[in-house]
Structure 1
Amino acid sequence: MSELLPHPATGDLFPSPVPPGTGWPGDPAAPETPVAGTAAAVRRLARTPDLAELDARVSVCRACPRLVRWREDVARSKRASFAAEPYWGRPTPGWGAQRPRVLVVGLAPAANGANRTGRIFTGDRSGDWLFASLHRVGLARTATSVHAADGQELVDTRMVATVRCAPPQNKPTVAERDTCAPWIEAELALVVESVRVVVALGSFGWDAALRSFAGLGWEAERPRPRFGHGVEATLAGAGREVRLLGCYHPSQQNTFTGRLTEDMLDDVLGRAAAAARIP
């Protein structure tokens, strides 16, 4: 049994990484939640009509050995500044509205961000930028997201990662991306009826959005739209259209160098809010 450490918000004690069903804030899984250990099992277990059950199954997936080792090694070794905290150390499920009008698609959890807090884009500088902007344009209740018990709420918005485990150097392999793909496609299928706008963070999120919609039988413009900041494309299916917006990822590399500014991020997310008719 690993050492028990206090959650920074609740003070409850948890091992690191955290087993399912032990009371971690926002943990969707129970001890009996089925665990995918192979790509075939991911495809099978992704077939559920219930979003909460899908989140639970995502959160215990063990189908990619390299990613499992990495996320759990990070959860045990920890960054020095978080050494006194337990780490989630599991896949990060989607989070936000169950009937979102805006869907934000990212790459993967950060090793010391969502892999620590258990909530997507929470606890790292990329998340700091993203949530501050979401708040400014009316898509988040508060400007910060620090842990899964901080009371933050998204407004008619949901966030998902293309790959659900933190990868080394933030670079999943093609095989890992493909193994994880049924999770995002299944999640999209469960929420797409309400979605009006998709914001793709970076080329990885852009490609994942196009692939996932194509998997549901939707069609993009021809020729295939190419990613760029502020680029807009139209996805058609189910008798209607969804707007796809490209946005540079709020990574430290992009924000520190000025490639992505607050105004640029606010512009894309503000366009998403307006297109989704969110006050």
Structure 2
Amino acid sequence: MIETSPEPPIDCPLCPRLVAYREEQQAAHPDWFNAPVPNFGDPDAWLAIAGLAPGLTGANRTGRPFTGDHAGGLLYDTLGAAGLAEGEYTESADDGLRLKGAIIINSVRCVPPQNKPVGAEINNCRPFLKAALDGLTKLRVIVALGTIAHASTLRAYGEAAGRYKFGHLAEHRIPGGPVLLDSYHCSRYNQNTGRLTDEMFAAVFERAKEIVA
């Protein structure tokens, strides 16, 4: 069996719609990253954060997950407060920020139009998610940001996503695997509508630390 790399090639051809959109952005913004965004964090992580996909002017521009958009501010501030990051987040990939015991892995690596990947694109990218998770020998907890990350993570472990109901702070024991801990996504929309507050998000990572204590 051929093993899948945890990182797709920079010119990944698997999703025609995403390739076309990526090429549009490369032409419009040649100084942006405009490629599958690699994982970011500690290779010895006990905690993996499963995101959705790069934002157009965030990770797709900067080349680092949750960097350069509204969601990143809350995520990295929360990780810092939880002792899982050190350094100052400045919305730039070269700000020197470092994660400690945590890693961020997006379920889809290329930016999708309207921030909405379709099912085939999520499925095409899942082998990279699985390979990245399988390579984390100290992994104990996965925080899934939103329903897409929740479902794709479960399927990466061969589980039927419908058997595990998504809910903020819901915990799921993956047979033979880590604990899956759900969170609402830290998107601008969820923050602005109050669906996700700073306190609610902080509680997710405090619970993750309790699980491994």
Rounded Cα–Cα distance in structure 2 between residues aligned with 1:135 and 1:95: 15
Rounded Cα–Cα distance in structure 2 between residues aligned with 1:67 and 1:119: 18
CA contact (8 A) 2:88 2:95 kept: no
Letter in 1 for 2:25: V
Rounded Cα–Cα distance in structure 1 between residues aligned with 2:188 and 2:46: 28
For the pair 1:118 / 2:63, whether they are aligned, the reply is yes
Question: Please, which of 133, 140, 148 is the counterpart of residue 204 of structure 1?
Answer: 148
Rounded Cα–Cα distance in structure 1 between residues aligned with 2:26 and 2:58: 11
Q: Which runs of 5+ in 2 are unaligned?
A: none
Query: 5 Å matches for 1:199-278?
Result: 199-214=143-158, 224-237=163-176, 242-277=178-213
Query: 5 Å matches for 1:82-231?
Result: 86-191=31-136, 193-214=137-158, 224-231=163-170
Question: Please, which of 9, 17, 22 is the counterpart of residue 71 of structure 1?
Answer: 22
Point out the structure with max Rg over C-alpha: 1
Rounded Cα–Cα distance in structure 2 between residues aligned with 1:58 and 1:140: 27
Rounded Cα–Cα distance in structure 1 between residues aligned with 2:105 and 2:90: 15
Over 3 Å counting, the alpha-carbon distance change for 1:129 and 1:210 in structure 2 is same
Letter in 1 for 2:175: A
CA contact (8 A) 1:220 1:235 kept: no
Letter in 2 for 1:233: H
Rounded Cα–Cα distance in structure 2 between residues aligned with 1:232 and 1:135: 23
CA RMSD of aligned residues (A): 2.1
Q: How many angstroms does 1:66 deviate by? A: 1.2
Over 3 Å counting, the alpha-carbon distance change for 1:97 and 1:132 in structure 2 is same
For the pair 1:47 / 2:20, whether they are aligned, the reply is no
Q: Deviations over 1:8-59 (max 9, x none)?
A: xxxxxxxxxxxxxxxxxxxxxxxxxxxxxxxxxxx95x535xxxxx43x444
Letter in 1 for 2:181: L
Letter in 1 for 2:156: S
Q: Which runs of 5+ in 1 are unaligned?
A: 1-42, 49-53, 79-84
Rounded Cα–Cα distance in structure 2 between residues aligned with 1:255 and 1:95: 23
Letter in 2 for 1:97: D
CA contact (8 A) 2:122 2:152 kept: no
Rounded Cα–Cα distance in structure 2 between residues aligned with 1:104 and 1:77: 31
**TM-score, normalised via structure 1 length:** 0.71
Count residues in correspondence: 213
CA contact (8 A) 1:90 1:165 kept: yes
The percent identity for this pair of structures is: 38
Q: How many angstroms does 1:73 deviate by? A: 1.8
**TM-score, normalised via structure 2 length:** 0.92
Bigger RCO (CA 8 Å, 6+ sep): 2
Letter in 2 for 1:90: A
Q: Deviations over 1:97-155 (max 9, x none)?
A: 11210000011000110000001111110111111111111111135252221111001
Q: How many angstroms does 1:171 deviate by? A: 1.0
